[in-house]
Structure 1
Amino acid sequence: MTTHDAGSGGTKSTESTGFLYPFIESEETDAGSLLDDLAASARGKAAESARLQQESLDEYGPALTAAGTEMAERFQRGGRLYTLGNGGSSTDAATLASLFSRPARGRAVAAWSLAADEAVVTALGNDVGFELIFKRQIIAHARDRDVAIALSTSGNSEDLMTAITEAKRRGLLTIGFAGHDGGRMAVADDLDYCFTVHSQSIHRIQESHAMLGFRLWSVAQEHMSRRRNGVHTS
C-alpha cells in the first residue's frame, strides 16, 4: 500500500496496519462479514479491558482504600492535588484532575494537571529542559499537605520520576499509575503507592488507569462525607 507524501511531493510505502485490524488489511468483499469481525474485535477489547480493571481492583483494593483515605485527610487540611503525565497520559491526568475539581457530585477539591498550561510547559521545556517541566512546577506550588499523582504506561518517564522525587522531598503524598511491569515506578522509594496495570497494551493500561483514578476519588469522597456527617473512622 502507498500513500502520497505531501512533504516530498511523491509517494512512499507505509507500514502495514494488519497487526491492529488484520481483517481490514485482507481482501474483504463481504460487508456483513467485515462488520461481524469489527464487532467481535470490539467485544474482545471490551472484555480484556474489563478483566484488567477487575484484576487491578482485586490486587490493589486495600491499597486504593488506604491511598484514597490519606488523600481525603490531606484535602480536609486544605491540600491540593497535582496530576502529571506525558502524551496520552497527560490527557488522562487532566481528566483525573477534573474529576476531583469539578465532580458531578460530592465535594470539589483543588486539583490541577501540570501539563495543562502549554505556556508554562513549553517555557520550562525551552528554558531549563523537558525533564524539569513538572519538578519546577512542584517547587513553585506544592506544599507538604498536597498530593501528586503521576501517570505513565511504561513507568519510566524521566520528567515524572524527577518530579516525584521532588514531591516526596517536600512531604507530598506520592502516587504512581504504571503499566507493563511498572518500570522505574514499581521500585521507586519516592512513591508512597504504585498501581501497575499488567498489560502490554497502552490502550488497556490507560483504561484501567481511569478506573483506578475513579476508585481513589470514590474513596476520598466517602471518607470526606463521613467526616462531614460526624462519623469518624480509624
Structure 2
Amino acid sequence: MSGGVEALYPFLYAGAEGGAAGPVADVEASTERKAAEAAALREALADRFAGALAACARDLAASFAAGGRLLAFGNGGSATDARAFAALLAAPPSPGRPLPSLALAQDTAALTALANDVGYEVVFSRQVAALGRPGDVAVAFSTSGGSPNVLRGLDEAGRRGLVTVGFAGYDGGPMAAPGAVRHLFVIPSESVHRIQEAQTTLYHVLGELTAAALPCADPR
C-alpha cells in the first residue's frame, strides 16, 4: 500500500496491505454491546419509575392547569436535555396542547451577565428567583447529581414553592439527599452516554403522561 486514504486508515480496508477485519469487527461488536446496554437500561426503567413518573406527571399537569409554567436547567449536555424537554412541552406533536416552558440556559444574556458579574454558581438560582412563582415547576438535569449551580437552582425553587423535579445518574449524588427534590429520577449507570440516553427516554414519557393528565385539551 503506497499511500492515499488507505495508508491513513488501514483498519477500514480489510483487503489492503496492513488492513485487517479485526478492528472493524471490534467496532461492530462494541456498537452492538452499547445498543444492547441502552435497550436493557431503558427496559429496566419502566418498572423502576412507572409509578414515580405518573405521580410527577400529575403534579406537572396540576401546575399547568393552574396557570403555572416550567423552568428547566442544566449544564453542557444536560442544558441540551433541558432545552429539548422545554421544547417538547412548548411545541408538542399535534394535536398536543402547548405548555409554557423555558430552558434557562437559552437566555445567553442573563446567563453570561450572572456568570460574569456574580458567579457561575448562581446562573440558575437567580433566574429561578426572578421567574419562578409558587406552583410553577423546576426541572433540573445533571448526570452526576452534584453540579453546584443546579443544586442551588433546585434549592431556590424549593424555597419559593415550586414543584421540583430532578434527573441524575450514578447514585444521584447530592441531588438524592433527603428533601433536595420532590420528584427524583436516578439512572443507575456510570456511563454518561447511557445516563443521558435514558434521561431522554424518561422525559419523553413524562411529557406524554403530563399531556394525558391535563384536565382538558387546548380549546384552540
Superposition TM-score tier, normalisation by shorter sequence = 0.7 to 0.9
Query: Relative to 1, partners in 2 of residues 1:188 and 1:128: Cα closer, same or farther, differing over 3 Å?
Result: farther
Matches within 5 A, 1:67-106: 67-105=56-94, 106=96
Identical counterparts, % of pairs: 42
For residue 131 of structure 1, what is the aligned residue in structure 2?
121
SS of residue in 1 equivalent to 2:105:
coil
Q: Distance in 2 between matches of 1:100 and 1:37?
A: 40
For residue 55 of structure 1, what is the aligned residue in structure 2?
44
Shift of 1:187: 1.2
* AA of the residue aligned to 1:166: E
For residue 205 of structure 1, what is the aligned residue in structure 2?
195
* AA of the residue aligned to 2:25: D
Q: Distance in 2 between matches of 1:118 and 1:39?
A: 40
Matches within 5 A, 1:1-234: 29-30=19-20, 32-105=21-94, 106-224=96-214, 227-228=215-216
For residue 14 of structure 1, what is the aligned residue in structure 2?
none
Shift of 1:37: 2.5
Q: After superposition, what is the alpha-carbon deviation per residue over 1:150-171, rounded to whole angstroms, capped at 9, x for unaligned? A: 0000000110111111101111
Shift of 1:188: 4.1
Q: Which stretches in structure 2 are left out of the alignment for 5+ residues? A: 1-10, 13-17
* Alignment TM-score, normalising by the size of structure 2: 0.87
Number of residue pairs the alignment of both structures matches: 202
Higher mean displacement: 92-101 or 186-195: 186-195
Shift of 1:36: 3.0
Q: After superposition, what is the alpha-carbon deviation per residue over 1:186-233, rounded to whole angstroms, capped at 9, x for unaligned? A: 114131011100111000000011011011101101111xx227xxxx
Q: After superposition, what is the alpha-carbon deviation per residue over 1:129-159, rounded to whole angstroms, capped at 9, x for unaligned? A: 1110000001111111210110000000110
Q: Distance in 2 between matches of 1:33 and 1:120?
A: 51
* Alignment TM-score, normalising by the size of structure 1: 0.82
Shift of 1:40: 1.9
Shift of 1:119: 1.6
SS of residue in 2 equivalent to 1:217:
helix
Shift of 1:34: 3.5
Q: Distance in 2 between matches of 1:111 and 1:39?
A: 40
Q: Distance in 2 between matches of 1:46 and 1:131?
A: 36
- Aligned-residue RMSD, C-alpha: 1.8
